Structure 1
Amino acid sequence: MSSRLIISRARPACSASRGASTTGVGRLANRTRSIASSRWPRSVMSLRIMHEVIRQGGKAIRRGPGCRAPSPWQRPLLLRWSTRRGRRGRSPRGTGRPCNRRLTVASSIREKPHRHMGGGSSASSREREGGQTAMPAKHMIATFRERLAADPDRIALRGRRDGGWWELTRGEVDRTVRAVAAGLIELGVAEAARVGIIGANRPEWTLADLAIQSVRAVPVPIYPTLTVSQAAYIVNDAEVDLLFVDGGRSLQMAREVAAEHRPVRVVCFDDSAALDPDLQEVRFSALVERGRSSPRSAEVDQRLDRVTPEDLLTLIYTSGTTGEPKGVMLTQANLLAAMEIHDERLPELSDADTSLCFLPLSHVFERCWTTYCLYRGLTVSYLDDPTEVIEVLQQVRPTCLCTVPRLLEKVHSAVHERMGSASAVRRGLFDWAMRVGREVAMRRNERRGVSPALSLQHAVADRLVLAKIRGVLGGRLRLVPCAGAPLSREVEEFFHAVGIHIAHGYGLTETTATVSFHDRVGYRLGTVGRPMPRVQVSIGAGDEILVKGPTVMAGYYRKPEATAEVFRDGWFCTGDAGAIDEAGCIIITGRVKDLIKTSTGKYIAPQAIEAMLTTKPPIEQAAVVGDLRKYVVALIVPSFPALEAEARRLGVTWSSPAELVGRPEMVALVQARVDEVNRELASFEQVKRFALLATPFVVEAGELTPTLKIRRAAIVAHHADLIASLYGD
């Protein structure tokens, strides 16, 4: 599909102070509803905003208030069933070798790191030296079982079905995991076997994950958004013989992989899916029943007794912004260490807290966060359709969740977009409340006192404005780990002012997620916080961030050369560029290999410019280009709901997105936002020309990773002629 575009030359920017920032609205979801009642604050936070906030493609599914009976595998369990209104009721009770292989990592470094920061005492740290590591004694399943046994009647997992929520207690989780594990042994799953999981977020995803680990096999998560060929690559590389899938597309993908690439057996979560026994397809419910009656259930405990800290716990394939995916090997010791070091930094969490799991479990961030929540005894609710996250936040009302900056940016944009059309009185009240919120947040962060007068103002501001904004996200949210992309200072300040702590952090699949994040007090905006306890961070040659510690991976699966390339003297080379400030906080400046070098020899971090652009309405996506060129240009995708609203206000007519982006009024609107960004950049960093695209960057075209990061090389290749025209070639 071709993209209609318009090319514009940016006006020179003067070095003025930062202008007042307004922000745009995301795409409209398929339906809108009002939040009843209160005139200003509630109207500002209407469900229209909620549905504008999220755009990930796909149609939002309207669910009715009724509930359906639980699946067969759930009937023997003590289930709690609730509708959106909170009614509750109960249903009737109803061969391989051990995988202890670790890759030896080459130790060769040409330059010594020049700046080093440790996250805690080294006395208890498990440091990598030549690939060898001192491991803790426990393994994750033993740790989970201790937690589940502590209070077996407490709710652990919640999932959606037909407009309602079904629940599993800790005791039910333990019994189901044991049953699935025994069922896997009945199916012939050997120790060290790789077992794939393809599907949307749901409790069964985690139950399968824990059951696979319980038989000393290795879970391999696969994004359900991948193409068949991409999924087949992972299945072949990891030598997967069995796949857990949900229904629909994931089931079809598994069948195509089995038919065209590698024979695999299938376990399907959905009872309504039509299975073919001839294709070795079984239902999850049948696997549970088979495991409950299995005479080999004792073998589960025998396998667990053989687990060692060096065992491979999971293979996670990185999506990669370039090149083919690599299987990251994380061990039992890696994940257990990750749990322990988070305990030291998150003492405020308790089993009274709840989390919403809405980022893909196939990604290390959500999977590790959800694992940690269960490890700490929190209740986790699973969302299978991320386009409905704002609506579901109203139902679940979590106290914490992990997210990516895009969600926060869209909430921030939607609020400011709405306030842009409010009356002067309402805008004034909003601005005053935000100033008070920022002042209180700053004083608390700096451990300064809040005067009685300011406290009184804050109480009024909170009642009239701030609490209403928190209400958009359920009203109880207080902790939000955020990572995956740059987060603008403006957005971060906004949420802290509202009263939600954004634990902005940094991590990679290769480091079992977290390397650093903001503490509740003493955080520094513009950084990604201090390193975790027992995690050491250095800055090496070319300002590359280097990491060492107990959470660093064992290596890349079946890729010893690639493993050797990323380790130097025991340090993992992240490929990210950055610095460490005087307070020991990490500052990310970009990707080492993603830096743009202009023809004049200047180095530019495109991700930082893209992050600035996408905070300006109506800009939704941006890709900055300029390698070996004399100046920087950008490909910009606007938020079409915001663009259309502005067009209607100006009386502009259009018949298609391609025609809309070509209208001079729309170009001028985006030009003004680009100029705002340029005023904050050095002259050689400024976007001199840009093109508006009528179609967004998408995963399916290879322009985004499954975690929605820019694949710059693919975008440049797809739009080569357009980019050439921006340079007058």
Structure 2
Amino acid sequence: MAAAPHVGGLADVVFDHADEDPHRVALGRKDSDGRWQDVTSAAFRDEVLALARGLIAHGVRFGDRVALMSRTRYEWTLFDFALWAVGAQSVPVYPTSSAEQVLWMLHDAEVSAVMVEHEDHAMTVASVIDRLPQLKRLWQLDAGAVEELVESGAHVEDEVVHRHRRAVTPESVATIIYTSGTTGRPKGCVLTHANFMFETQTMASRWESVFHSRPGDEAATLLFLPLSHVFGRMVEVTAVRGRVKLGHQPELSAKALMPDLVSFRPTFILAVPYIFEKVFNGARRKAEAEGRTGPFDKAVDIAVKYAEAMEARAFGTGPGPSAALRMQHQFFDKVVYKKVRDAMGGRIRHAMSGGSGMERRLGLFFAGAGVTVYEGYGLTESTAAATANPPERTRYGTVGQPIPGTTVHIAEDGEVWLYGAHVFGGYLGDPKATDAVVHDGWLATGDLGALDEDGYLTITGRKKEILVTSGGKSVSPAALEERVRAHPLVAQCIVVGNDRPYIAALVTVDQEAVEHWLTMQGRQSLTPAELVRDPDVEMEVRRAVVAANTAVSQAESIRTFRILAHPFSEEHGLLTPSLKLKRGAIEAAYETEVAALYR
């Protein structure tokens, strides 16, 4: 268990690492030609120090709050550590936020300066700046903000920065992260340096072995999760503190991500289930296009059986893979599994997944293919992970055991409660909301779950998302939605039925998967309008629904569904930055379609 820190702040490690090993490669950064360039510990320290001097020159002082509105990129990490070096507090703003959302967060946090990525972000801030009298400065990354600040701070002595840095204590506030707001107005979670120190030190020490492809190699990870979300921030800080080479990728899409995985070659990644689903579905489509569907499906079956046998051996309930299974596994490792690993850069042997649940069979496949995915669970209020599967005994389909120093309790109504040094102190300026979720240091998460006999947690749903039909049947939608999404043509599924006579669903399809499926059938592409009426597409989605219904009672089953022409997107306010469904917003946006399901 990580010891509670007694002194210092998050920025100290940048200076400590530069003193201890100045030539170690700390980060990777793309140049203007798109090639990765190494950044040493000493070079990063110098950049942080120069930017910190510039922040001081522009009037940023200890305790000031500075908003960061950008996609995931190198400069965000640079700003984070420079702000922490002067004792300032960073306030992440989702880059897709509307003007009203930006206004609320900047006003609520009393932000005095804001860093944006590009002109569109600058215009969003400018549209509400007349209602933000406390906002004094705006810097734009794509307009040379870093260079401008560094130049402005050239006359500031290094010792001025160090005086600020030495004044930071573990109890100092590091950041205000606003909840992504699946319901209601986002609330600002106040997280301290101590919260992040405990969380990241625990992850770095307990899971250090999974950072590497093999013992002794250089640990490296490519961060593509949004840094405006607590999961991405935890990865950022853990990598810097844990001496893991860190690269940044700004787009959370398979098309943009896969080439950078190949060029950066991380040894492990942290992602959401969507990424692993995309990798798997992409591999299967390639096999279909090559006329090798049968062998691929056989390889999947062998991978799952192999991982199940290894899991049983780890828990003392089985002898492990048989000789015959080992031989089959070895064969498919050369012809199938290696290709899957190569698609992720070739060096990945471990990964961590969070944000939402991963289907057990998908986790077993990746483990059998040589990439163990450790599922975890946490919230913004718990500084990311509160539970995670341990390296030596992974139980697929669960979110693991409490991380060292954390206690998990299941309340009488099934709600998951958490206790530990990573639990936040409260919501900014909202004691009433804080008191509603924090009880004598225990965090009431709002999630429903169960602990098995070995202390592994399974999340079964959200208290607020439980649907109650007009017949009085309570239904947790998450499990049904996950099973429907297991079909390769399905992108998203939202289950509806609150105060309705039965359960129904809205479904979106994966356009890339549908295009491939049509090609394999010798058919031409369909427009979105044609796609939702196509009887063959409807039949495939119906199969997904029927398969999902086999796991629940008739009263809980999906009776009918509708295919939508376009996916739910963050840009339209229907997804959170971590790709969770905003149920209220979706039902409001598709009010007509939902009503039609009950006619």
TM-score, normalised by the number of residues in structure 2: 0.92
Which digits, 9 at most, give the CA deviation of each residue in 1:5-48, with x for residues without a partner? xxxxxxxxxxxxxxxxxxxxxxxxxxxxxxxxxxxxxxxxxxxx
Match of 2:452 among 581, 591, 594: 581
Alpha-carbon offset, residue 333 of structure 1: 1.0
Query: Could you tell me which residue of structure 2 aligns to residue 305 of structure 1?
Result: 166
Residue range with higher mean Cα deviation, 429-438 or 655-664: 429-438
Alpha-carbon offset, residue 249 of structure 1: 2.4
Give the Cα separation in 1 of the matches to 2:313 and 2:120. Answer: 49
Structure 2 residue 207 is matched with structure 1 residue 346: yes
Give the Cα separation in 1 of the matches to 2:138 and 2:553. Answer: 55
Note if contact 1:125-1:549 (Cα within 8 Å) is conserved in structure 2: no
Structure 2: 5+ residue runs without aligned partners?
none
Matched position secondary structure for 1:541 = coil
Note if contact 2:483-2:547 (Cα within 8 Å) is conserved in structure 1: no
Change (3 A) 1:569 1:339: same
Q: How does 1:368-383 map to 2 (within 5 A)?
A: 368-383=234-249
2:170 partner letter: P
Structure 2 residue 155 is matched with structure 1 residue 294: yes
Which digits, 9 at most, give the CA deviation of each residue in 1:349-378, with x for residues without a partner? 478110001111111101111210111111
The RMSD of aligned alpha carbons is: 2.3
Aligned residues: 587
Structure 2 residue 588 is matched with structure 1 residue 717: yes
Query: Could you tell me which residue of structure 1 aligns to residue 68 of structure 2?
Result: 197
Query: Could you tell me which residue of structure 2 aligns to residue 206 of structure 1?
Result: 77
Give the Cα separation in 1 of the matches to 2:16 and 2:124. Answer: 37
Note if contact 1:357-1:370 (Cα within 8 Å) is conserved in structure 2: yes
Structure 2 residue 491 is matched with structure 1 residue 623: no
Structure 2 residue 262 is matched with structure 1 residue 400: no
Query: Could you tell me which residue of structure 1 aligns to residue 389 of structure 2?
Result: 518
Which digits, 9 at most, give the CA deviation of each residue in 1:404-438, with x for residues without a partner? 01111122222234444524763476356535643
Alpha-carbon offset, residue 534 of structure 1: 0.9
Matched position secondary structure for 2:6 = coil
Structure 2 residue 135 is matched with structure 1 residue 269: no
Alpha-carbon offset, residue 518 of structure 1: 0.8
Note if contact 2:490-2:510 (Cα within 8 Å) is conserved in structure 1: yes
Structure 2 residue 395 is matched with structure 1 residue 527: no
Alpha-carbon offset, residue 692 of structure 1: 0.8
Change (3 A) 1:428 1:706: closer
Change (3 A) 1:241 1:503: same
Match of 2:224 among 336, 343, 358: 358
Structure 2 residue 462 is matched with structure 1 residue 563: no
Alpha-carbon offset, residue 441 of structure 1: 3.9
Alpha-carbon offset, residue 466 of structure 1: 1.3
Query: Could you tell me which residue of structure 1 aligns to residue 295 of structure 2?
Result: 426
Note if contact 1:226-1:706 (Cα within 8 Å) is conserved in structure 2: no
Change (3 A) 1:459 1:150: farther
Q: What is the percent sequence identity of the aligned residues?
A: 34
Query: Could you tell me which residue of structure 1 aligns to residue 145 of structure 2?
Result: 283
Matched position secondary structure for 1:309 = coil
Query: Could you tell me which residue of structure 2 aligns to residue 145 of structure 1?
Result: 15
Give the Cα separation in 2 of the matches to 1:550 and 1:325. Answer: 23
Give the Cα separation in 1 of the matches to 2:274 and 2:372. Answer: 16
Residue range with higher mean Cα deviation, 439-448 or 490-499: 439-448
Matched position secondary structure for 2:113 = strand
Matched position secondary structure for 2:270 = coil
Match of 1:317 among 169, 178, 202: 178
Note if contact 1:244-1:268 (Cα within 8 Å) is conserved in structure 2: yes
Query: Could you tell me which residue of structure 2 aligns to residue 593 of structure 1?
Result: 464
Give the Cα separation in 2 of the matches to 1:591 and 1:394. Answer: 37
Matched position secondary structure for 1:163 = coil
Match of 2:27 among 132, 157, 167: 157
Alpha-carbon offset, residue 453 of structure 1: 6.2
Change (3 A) 1:449 1:149: farther
Give the Cα separation in 2 of the matches to 1:703 and 1:434. Answer: 35
Instruction: Give the structure with the larger helix fraction.
Output: 2
Note if contact 2:222-2:249 (Cα within 8 Å) is conserved in structure 1: yes
1:690 partner letter: F
Change (3 A) 1:125 1:396: closer
Matched position secondary structure for 1:308 = coil
Query: Could you tell me which residue of structure 2 aligns to residue 604 of structure 1?
Result: 475
Query: Could you tell me which residue of structure 2 aligns to residue 32 of structure 1?
Result: none
Matched position secondary structure for 2:464 = coil
Give the Cα separation in 1 of the matches to 2:326 and 2:493. Answer: 41
Alpha-carbon offset, residue 697 of structure 1: 1.2
Matched position secondary structure for 1:550 = coil
Structure 2 residue 371 is matched with structure 1 residue 505: no
Give the Cα separation in 1 of the matches to 2:542 and 2:337. Answer: 32
Give the Cα separation in 2 of the matches to 1:259 and 1:604. Answer: 46
Note if contact 1:446-1:521 (Cα within 8 Å) is conserved in structure 2: no
Change (3 A) 1:372 1:536: same
Structure 2 residue 343 is matched with structure 1 residue 472: yes
Structure 2 residue 559 is matched with structure 1 residue 688: yes
Note if contact 2:467-2:476 (Cα within 8 Å) is conserved in structure 1: yes
Which digits, 9 at most, give the CA deviation of each residue in 1:499-519, with x for residues without a partner? 111110001110010101111
Matched position secondary structure for 1:370 = helix
- Higher RCO by CA contacts (8 Å cutoff, separation 6 or greater): 1
2:436 partner letter: E
2:235 partner letter: W
Q: How does 1:624-703 map to 2 (within 5 A)?
A: 624-647=495-518, 656-703=527-574
Structure 2 residue 120 is matched with structure 1 residue 249: yes
Give the Cα separation in 1 of the matches to 2:524 and 2:335. Answer: 38
Residue range with higher mean Cα deviation, 194-203 or 585-594: 194-203
Alpha-carbon offset, residue 246 of structure 1: 2.1
Residue range with higher mean Cα deviation, 225-234 or 416-425: 416-425
Structure 2 residue 481 is matched with structure 1 residue 613: no
Give the Cα separation in 2 of the matches to 1:514 and 1:435. Answer: 26
